[in-house]
């Protein structure tokens, strides 16, 4: 499965959802997650993210391991998203800021 990680928080560009053939992205207030049971590992979304926030599960950086469980947990709670929308208003300013997990809204 693929995993959405830290740099999506407060950016949420949503380019990723447009290319997903199985529509397995789920949307929270300022972050997206991938449902690990639905992702078919096609890898199409990874290069689409302007924030480079998407990784294959076995390539998630050490300091972002907690996002693997977060994707699983939140994908069961949040609604499905299948179409691109505008990024969050301050996306450019937050793109590249590290350790945004404290800002993740549920
Ligand atoms: Fe969707 Fe493919 Fe990305 Fe999985 S790897 S979330 S199936 S686009
Ligand atoms: Fe997030 Fe990147 Fe998608 S910022 S919403 S994972 S395009």
Using one digit for the tens of pLDDT, what is the confidence trace for 25-55? 999 999 999 999 999 999 999 999 999 999 9
92 in a structural domain: no
Residue 91 included in any domain: no
Contact 67, 2 (CB under 8 A): no
List pLDDT tens digits, range 62-77.
Answer: 999 999 999 999 999 9
Ligand 2 proximal residues by C-beta, below 6 Å: 4, 8, 11-16, 32, 49, 51, 53-54
Does a structural domain hold residue 105? no
Ligand nearest to the CA of 22: 1
Distance separating alpha carbons of residues 24 and 48, to the nearest angstrom: 15
Closest-lying ligand 2 atom to the alpha carbon of residue 32:
5
* Cα(47)–Cα(53) distance, integer angstroms: 9
Overall pTM surpassing 0.95 (yes/no): yes
The CATH number that applies at residue 13 is 3.30.70.20
Task: Supply the range of the domain harboring residue 50.
Answer: 2-84
Domain assignment present for 71: yes
Instruction: Give percent above pLDDT 90 in the chain.
Output: 100
Number of structural domains found in the chain = 1
Choose one of 9, 11, 17, 88 to mutate for the ligand 2 pocket test, by most ligand atoms within 8 angstroms of C-beta: 11
In a domain, 89, yes or no: no
Torsion angle (degrees, nearest 10) of CA 26, 78, 65, 83: 20
């Amino acid at each position: 499965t693929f995993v959405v990680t830290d740099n999506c928080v407060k950016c949420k560009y949503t380019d990723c959802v447009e290319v997903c053939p199985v529509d397995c992205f789920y949307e929270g207030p300022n972050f997206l997650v991938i449902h690990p049971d639905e992702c078919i590992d096609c890898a199409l979304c990874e290069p689409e993210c302007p924030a480079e926030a998407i990784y294959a599960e076995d390539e998630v950086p050490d300091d972002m391991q907690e996002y693997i469980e977060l994707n699983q947990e939140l994908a069961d709670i949040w609604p499905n998203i299948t179409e691109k929308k505008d990024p969050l208003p301050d996306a450019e300013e937050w793109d590249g800021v590290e350790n945004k997990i404290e800002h993740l809204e549920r």
